[in-house]
Every structure is written in C-alpha cells, then in structure tokens.
Structure 1
Amino acid sequence: MSLAPRSGSSTAESGGRHGGGGRRGTGRPPRRRRVLRWSATVLAVVILGTATAGYLYYRHLNANLETGKRSSGDSKAEKPQPNAAGQTPLNILLIGSDSRNSAENLELGGSKSSVGSKPLADVQMLVHLSADRKHASVVSIPRDTRVDIPECTDPETGETYPATNTIINASLARGGAGCTLATWQNLTGVYIDHWMMIDFAGVVSMADAVGGVEVCVNQNVHDRPLPGVPGGSGLKLKEGRQKVQGEKALQWLRTRHAFFSDVGRAKAQHMYMNSMIRTLKEQNAFTDTGRLMNLAETATDALKVSEEIGSVKKLYDLAMQLKTVPTNRITMTTMPTDVDPQNANHLVPAGEDAEKIWSMVRDDVAFDKNGKAAGSKKTSGTEKASSDPAADDAEIGVLVQNATRSDAEGAVDRRASELAGLLVEKGFTRAAADLTGGLSEEQTVVRYPSAELEGDAQRIAKSLGIPLSSVKRSTDVSGVTLVVGADWRTGTSYPKKSAPQAGEIPESADAINGSDSGQCMDVYEPYRW
C-alpha cells in the first residue's frame, strides 16, 4: 500500500500536464485574462489621474478669480419680469479700471504719483443680452459724464461715501465696482445682474490670448503729448487695417485725443470689441478645448467679477449664452450726451435721446432690425392689472415727490404741490406733497411697499395716464408714492410716448453693428504723422 498522500499524486499530474512539476496548487490564469486585468488597472489610474488633474485645474482657475460685492450703493432698480417663456434679460456691466497700483500697471500707463490712489472707472459699458438670447446691445457712458452717484459703502474698508453729483468715473473710488453698478442702475432704471472689471495688465494679457484684433485708421496716427495737451496713449499706427495685441491693444483702447474725444474713444473700443468677437467666432474658441483652456486661464487671472458669478462654471455658462448671438444681432452704442452747462470739459445725458436708449434696454427691444419680427417686446407681466382691488379714491393715501431735477436741468418749482392738487381735484383727497426736494428720477414712477397696496398704486397711475409698467413695488416707501420724474416737467397730463421699435435707436448713439467689418477711425489732424 502506498503511503504517499493523494494530493501528491494530483500535484504530479498537474505538474506533468503543464510540463513543470512541483508547483503546489498555484495554477496561473490564462495570459489574456492577465492582460485584461493589467489594462483595466492602467485605465483606472489614467481616469483617476485625469479626473484629479482636471479637478485641480478647475480649482486653480477658481483660485485665479478675484470677486467683490455686486452692489455697494443705494439703488431702486428692480429685476424685470420673465416673458411668456419664463426668460429674463441678462445685464452685465463691464468696467475698465485705470489702477496703477502694481508695477505692471504702472509700466503700462500713468505716473508714479498715481500709485496708492483709488482707481477710476475709465471704461464703462453695459452688455444687455435679450431674454430670448437672440440679440445683444452694448451701451457705453463716457467717463467724464456728470451724474448722480448714490451713497456707497466700500465693502473692503467699511468707509461710507455720501451721495454726490460728479463725473461717473469717480464712482469706482467711492465704494468699488458695486458703487459704479448702483450709479448705473439709478441713472438708467436698468437692473444689472453682474459686473466684471479689468485693469491695464488684464487688457494686455487678454489681447495676447486672443492672438491680436484687427483695427483700422483712415490716417497715420500717433497719440502723444502736444504743447498744452499733456498725456496720450502712445498709439502709433500707419493708416489702414492691422492687428493689435498686447500693449498696442491697450494703447488703442485708451486713445482719446487722436480720436477727438471720449465719445470717439468709445467708438474705437466698440470697433475693437466687435472685431474681437468676430475673431473668436472664426477661431471656434468656444468649442476648441485647447483655445478655451488658454482663454479661461487668462480671463480668470485678468478679471475681477461680482461674487455671484465668482466661479469658472458660472463664467463658462455666461460665455455659452453670449456665443449664441450672431454678430449681426450685436449692436454697440454710446449713450447720447450734451456738453455739461457747468463745465465745458464734461458731458451730461442728452435728455430724450438718452432716455430712449435706456427704455429700449428696459423693455428688451432690439437695437438692430435683423430679427424675424421688428417691434417692441415688453416683458410679460409689466402691464398686468393687480388682482387686489383698489380702495375708494377718497381713502387712498398718496405722497407726491418732486424728482424733476436732471443732470441737464434743475428741479421744477412746486411740481409736487401742483400734482398733489390735481389728485385732490380728481377725488384723491388724501394726496399730499412731499416738500423735502432734492430728488432726481429720469422716469415718473408710482411706488408702493406691499402687495395689499398694489391696486391703490395702479389706481393712482391710471387716473393720471401713467402706464402700469411704471408702477413698482419698493421697500424704500412706506405708502403709495408718486415720484414725478424729469420726463414730466410740465402739464397735468402724463406725456404719451410711443413704444420704441426694433432698430429705432437715435443717430446720436453712434451705433455699430457687430457684422460691420468696414469701420475705420478718423484721426484728429494734430495727431497725424
């Protein structure tokens, strides 16, 4: 009888089968299975590594972004109501800072005496993206335009600045970008969702990232100091079309003497922006991953943004909304202005022309005529009658305020008393005038503090012929308040206005369509060479 264990026999058999012998119970898996396991392990490592790298890069881009408070000043502008499809317009304020508080910015412009000073907002543009995302409008305000700047509190220092009336570029130094946003809202009546700010160095890096933008001058230009006229951007170009990038792009955007004025500078900036948009579309920058990453790296490092859009994802979502607008539906304009009667070197909004621009933005009316249907497109709900019934006329309390003062004209004496008396004659016996004065509103508006007074506010508006779109809920009032604006300086009947139609912008707005590549700047003769 053999005393050898049975397992020995099995091992021998197994060893003999594989041509090897002596390996106990360790049969190797087939080579194909080993390759699959190795491949799966490598793939898992690659996926994990890529995801980790992507996450780290995303965090890096987010860390690049500097953010600030959306608004730091008093403002009564209200968000627009959604249209029938539930869509609302999007308004973004672009600010170009003249800060010299870095070595790089100082080298690019300005003197050492500017170091440590609070920056000014030398470039200010509102980008309006329509509710249906089919058209976009851009409106600039020249930096030396005198406006009302509200009380603002600097979110970084806590310092509070009193309300003042001065040129608009000073708003940035009185509470940061949030104060500039509040100033725009009060001037225009447009609710502004976000702001973005860029300095000299940021402009240079963005111009380089794009790879150059084509511009055009009709004559050789050299924007330089002249006897009695200091400053100048340093821009020197030969006539015709050429690409500018880096510091040359910054010089183009800062040139004003050679382009006649701040209004001319705004036009040159619009030409540059239109050209840049066309360039990015031609490069497929929004779909080319490599180009998009390069632009994202540069943009997040160059921009400071309001905190509610302070992430790469939110900025990317904004870019995707903007890219859907075709170039022939983009219109660049400058707010119409007149010479400031108080200072010939400054400007003021040009009354009816300026108000027409802002009413088109508020009502989401296209600046171009290239849409399928031209015409006014008011947001849904702005004319909706309240379901809350009004009280009897004699029981409605209403305070009338005189806000007829504008940047161009002083307040109309006794205007609040005049219209309060008119309301009393109409049966609103509790109407009274607020005699404190000092207010300024471009548009007449009826404000009410809570839903149960909406019907009363609409009843007051209807009795005076004021459109229901001018009846606004506001926490700034304690009861129904009629604020008589600069649009109603005389008479007892509210002036009827026809709704602006698509493309009906004033000639004084100096409009340029985004598809117009034939634009070229004239050069003021002293700056030709």
Structure 2
Amino acid sequence: MSLTPRTEGAPEGSGRHGGGRRGGGPKTDRRPRRRRALRWSAIVLAVVILGTAGAGYLYYEHLNGNLQKGRRSNADDSKAQRTRPNAAGQTPLNILLIGSDSRNSDANVALGGSKDNRGNPPLGDVQMLVHLSADRRSAAMVSIPRDTRVDIPECEDPKTGKSYPATNDIINTSLARGGAGCTLATWENLTGVYIDHWMTIDFAGVVRMTNAIGGVEVCVNQNVWDRSTPSQRGGSGLKLKAGRKKIKGVQALQWLRTRHAWGSDLMRARAQHMYMNSMMRTLRQQSVFTDTGRLTDLAEAATKSLTVSEEIGTVKKLYDLGMELKSVPANRITSVTMPNVEDPANGQHVVPEKTGADKMWRMLRDDVPFDKNGEKAKKKGKAEPAKAPSTDAARLGVLVQNATRSSTEAAVQGRARAIGQVLVQHGYGRADTDTSAASSADETVVRYPSAELQGDAQAVAKSLGIPASQVERSTDVSGVTVVVGADWRTGTLYPKKSAPKAGDVPDNADAINGSDTSKCMDVYKPYQW
C-alpha cells in the first residue's frame, strides 16, 4: 500500500505487479480474481449470510455447485504452528480474506476499468485476517497494506504446476504467484500465525453481495467525489454528500476502492473497516433470519460470489463458520491495520513497524483479545509438564540456526555460533552451528522431530531461558534444533517478554471497535465538492 496517491497517468486500479494466475476460481464474472480493496468486507458478509441460511438445505446441492474451491496453501515449508488449545480444548480460528482485482470478465472490466489489464494475473489488493478466539467470544480483523514489502515464499500454481521462486516483493503480488494459497503462505511466513482457511471475492462479487444485503450505512465529514484531478489521474467515482448515507451495489464498490479521496491506502483500510463493522451491525438488525425467501436469495448470491479453500468448500461448512462469526458481539470485534513505516528502499511502499507488528502477531498467536470488553480471562490450564531428557546433555546433538534476518534488518553475523558456545558451556558438547545462509524467523523456537526428543528439547530451551511455549515438534528438523529468531539479536540469555494483555493493541494500529457508530471519514481537500 502506497502512502501517496498512485502516480499520474495510471487510473485507479491500473498498477500491476507480478505474474501467475489465481489458484481456484473460474473464468466467469462470478469468480473472484483480481479486485482491489473491496473483497474482504463482502466475503465476511457472504459468510455471515450463509450462517443464517440453515433453512436453505432445499438448495443444498445447487448451492454447493455454485462454490469454487482451491488448495489451502501453495507452499510446503510453513513454520506456522496451530495455537495450543485452551483449558476447554478449544483452538482459535483464522480466516484470510482476499480481494482480487481480476479483470478477466466483462463484468469486472466494466466495474474496475483498466481494460488493458484484462487477462493479467490478479493482485490481492485487499487482505484481511479474521481471527476468532478459541472461546468464540471475541474477534479481530487485521489488514496488511497492499504495498507492504515482505518475503514471499516459494509457491506453486495448482492449476498449471508452475513454480515461483521465493522473492521479496509487495504482498499483493503473492496472489499472482500461485493463487490464494500463496497469499496464505506469505501471511504465515510473516506472522507465524497458522491460518485455517482463505476466501476470495472480485468486483462483481462485491456488487452482488452488497445488493443482496440491501445496503450498508457509511459516513463522511465532507462532501466527497473521488475523481481525476489535474495532479492525479483515476479515482473510484464515489460521490456522496456529507453525513450518513446507505450505499449498495456499485456505490458500495466505489467506497471500498476509494483511496485518493481519503488521502492514502492506509486511510482506505480505515474506510473498509468502518464499512465492515457497519455491515455486521446491519445483518444483526435485519429480520432475514426468519425470512426463508430472503435467506435463499442471500445464500444464492453468497455462493456465486466466493471462492474458498477446499476444506470449507460446502454450504454446511460455511454455514457452521457463519454461525460462529455471527455469535461474536459487536463490541468484541476489533479492526486494526498492521503497524507500518515507510519502506527505506521505496517511498511508495511500507514495511512492518517491527515492535508494533510483532506485538500484534504475538497477540494473535497467543489468542489474546484485541478488546477489553470481555470477562477477566480465566487462568489457562496447567502447562504440559516437562518430560525427562532421553539423552545425556554431553551426547545430545543440537543444531543452532541463525534466523535473525527480518524484513527491515540484516542477519546478525555469527549469532548461531555465539548461542552454540553458550550451549557448550551448559554441557551440550555436541552443539553445532548450521552454516547455511541465515534465514528469517520473528520468534526464537526450539524444534524437535519426534516424541522421544521432547524432553531433550525442553531441557535445551530451559538452559537458554526460552519459554516452554516456544518448544515445538516439527518434521522439518532431524534433531533438536535451536532457531535463533529476530527477537534475540543480542545477549546470551533469551530476553524475558511481558505477556500482552487484553486490549493492549499497539497505538499505531488504528484500532476501531465494531460497536463504534461515531466514526466518519475525513475527505482529502482536493476531493471535496
């Protein structure tokens, strides 16, 4: 996401990056592929609608036939681990929502303009992670600006079999490098958060869904007209008078695509969060839950508008998912944008602001609520007791890897060797250093390949001061392996971290509570009328 308007001469939505083709959607105007900045809100809408459509089993097979499906992940090397169950055995649920800017149909070209881009691989210009807490009492919606420079892992296009090498590029290009499964893998690579499912939607899908719900209320503080100006070509075409207005169809699409009139892509994310919160409130206020005819119409629109990862590719599974989303109170839903700073290599891009972003990722991994409106958290169940080591420390082989490189900082040279020496001092005489190129990991972990080495891995972690929660089983290692992450760049004892508390969201995350109806968008002066 750029911090300044798109360069002159490029109409809104015309900038292209990357190659490849989306993984899973068809070629008709009902298939999500490349639609900028709009899709995530329509996706949530579609899921909630499906969650109310239990009576629609009459059309079950027909609706299932509408759904398009694709592979969950197009990369095989994700290190993201599922969050451990809470005391009741429940785990969080993470769903990645992707807005595709595809112009591979007449309808999408008409809605998105930029005819010269028809047939180009789609970009994922709207990306939002919906996190449902393990107890299903709170939710977080986290956006990453489209022009955030990140490490994109090696991905394979499931349709063509084409392999795309790992690269460092802006995150919206990941969709063009093997489809939604590659975007999911990129998020896991960046955040360390295990993502269960993805959903995508395109321009035509947004219009279809916003018409189905009957409109969503939005608010602007000044009259807004997002159009071409002498200094900036393009614009969404959104034209509204100041105050609160209900929008739907093409006008809703324009709201979600607008960025020049808000001043930046960062403000566009805020407008999208406001829209989504309003949409969720609208669904709760409507009487659609008892109107069978309305329900089936909405379910029809929803299944025609979505492409989903294959493990949730039935109406029943989407119904169950929708019911879980619908159960979260509005005041327990928090929308945020990843803390970011200007990319030192390109002022049109951003990179994660490490302190704030890392804190947010940890809150997601640890399932810490982003709001303070819940009951006081109950104490977690007792941690799994440490197991006795199976091998004497002096005979245990331990490999230490340097993963201190991050998107903003180079790797610390010699870091693995330094920690290996500490292990030797603790009696691990066979500690060795991985001499391959430094990799990247936000958090330090100790990995082990099989159950019999769990106790040994726990003992190694304890000797270095690494918490037991950062000891994990992995098939990617052949023995006990210490991965020294970007959170441990100096010192010989792992730094203690204070656990984040409920509602302790970074100040630079632009948090909005789902029950807040007071928010209105300010309009950048050149686009006031």
TM-score (norm 2): 0.87
5 Å-filtered alignment, 1:316-465, equals 316-374=319-377, 383-465=383-465
- Equivalent residues of 2:387, 2:458 under 8 A apart: no
For 1:174 and 1:513, how far apart are their aligned partners in 2?
34
- Equivalent residues of 1:401, 1:437 under 8 A apart: no
- Equivalent residues of 1:398, 1:430 under 8 A apart: yes
For 2:282 and 2:209, how far apart are their aligned partners in 1?
13
For 2:71 and 2:384, how far apart are their aligned partners in 1?
33
For 1:325 and 1:289, how far apart are their aligned partners in 2?
23
Residue 85 of structure 1 deviates from its aligned partner by: 1.3
Deviation by residue 1:418-475 (Cα, 9 ceiling, x = unmatched): 1111211222111111121241111111111111111111111111111111111111
Residue 390 of structure 1 deviates from its aligned partner by: 4.3
Asked whether 1:308 is paired with 2:308, we answer no
| Gap regions ≥5 residues in structure 1 | 1-52
- Equivalent residues of 1:67, 1:310 under 8 A apart: yes
For 1:426 and 1:54, how far apart are their aligned partners in 2?
64
For 2:88 and 2:320, how far apart are their aligned partners in 1?
20
Residue 286 of structure 1 deviates from its aligned partner by: 4.0
For 2:360 and 2:287, how far apart are their aligned partners in 1?
32
**Correspondence for 1:69:** 71
SS of 1:93 mapped into structure 2:
strand
Structure 1 residues 201 and 54 mapped into 2: Cα distance closer, same or farther (>3 Å)?
A: closer
**Correspondence for 1:167:** 170
For 1:490 and 1:59, how far apart are their aligned partners in 2?
58
- Equivalent residues of 1:286, 1:323 under 8 A apart: no
**Correspondence for 1:125:** 128
Rg bigger for which structure?
Answer: 1
- Equivalent residues of 2:404, 2:438 under 8 A apart: no
- Equivalent residues of 2:389, 2:459 under 8 A apart: no
Residue 228 of structure 1 deviates from its aligned partner by: 4.0
**Correspondence for 1:59:** 61
- Aligned letter for 1:207? T
SS of 1:86 mapped into structure 2:
coil
Structure 1 residues 157 and 288 mapped into 2: Cα distance closer, same or farther (>3 Å)?
A: same
Asked whether 1:95 is paired with 2:95, we answer no
Residue 66 of structure 1 deviates from its aligned partner by: 0.4
Larger mean Cα displacement after TM superposition, 78-87 or 353-362: 78-87
Deviation by residue 1:305-337 (Cα, 9 ceiling, x = unmatched): 000110111111111111111101111111111
5 Å-filtered alignment, 1:133-152, equals 133-152=136-155
For 1:189 and 1:132, how far apart are their aligned partners in 2?
21
**Correspondence for 1:250:** 253
Asked whether 1:186 is paired with 2:196, we answer no
For 1:333 and 1:315, how far apart are their aligned partners in 2?
24
SS of 2:288 mapped into structure 1:
coil
Residue 493 of structure 1 deviates from its aligned partner by: 1.8
- Aligned letter for 1:309? I
Structure 1 residues 133 and 284 mapped into 2: Cα distance closer, same or farther (>3 Å)?
A: farther
**Correspondence for 2:14:** none
Larger mean Cα displacement after TM superposition, 411-420 or 90-99: 411-420
For 2:363 and 2:458, how far apart are their aligned partners in 1?
23
SS of 1:190 mapped into structure 2:
coil
Residue 193 of structure 1 deviates from its aligned partner by: 0.7
Larger mean Cα displacement after TM superposition, 242-251 or 80-89: 80-89
**Correspondence for 2:526:** 526
**Correspondence for 2:211:** 208
- Equivalent residues of 1:147, 1:407 under 8 A apart: yes
- Equivalent residues of 1:390, 1:459 under 8 A apart: no
- Equivalent residues of 1:72, 1:154 under 8 A apart: yes
- Equivalent residues of 1:120, 1:172 under 8 A apart: yes
Task: Give the number of the structure with larger relative contact order, counting CA–CA contacts within 8 Å between residues 6 or more apart.
Answer: 2
Residue 54 of structure 1 deviates from its aligned partner by: 7.0
For 1:127 and 1:150, how far apart are their aligned partners in 2?
22
**Correspondence for 1:507:** 507
**Correspondence for 1:475:** 475
For 2:432 and 2:291, how far apart are their aligned partners in 1?
63
- Equivalent residues of 2:56, 2:292 under 8 A apart: no
5 Å-filtered alignment, 1:481-500, equals 481-500=481-500
**Correspondence for 1:48:** none
For 1:305 and 1:390, how far apart are their aligned partners in 2?
44
Deviation by residue 1:43-90 (Cα, 9 ceiling, x = unmatched): xxxxxxxxxx97662111111000000111131112222222121111
For 1:322 and 1:285, how far apart are their aligned partners in 2?
16
Larger mean Cα displacement after TM superposition, 254-263 or 500-509: 254-263
| Gap regions ≥5 residues in structure 2 | 1-54
- Equivalent residues of 1:119, 1:173 under 8 A apart: yes
Alignment coverage as a number of residue pairs: 474
Residue 401 of structure 1 deviates from its aligned partner by: 1.0
For 2:523 and 2:431, how far apart are their aligned partners in 1?
57
- Equivalent residues of 1:400, 1:481 under 8 A apart: yes
Larger mean Cα displacement after TM superposition, 298-307 or 281-290: 281-290
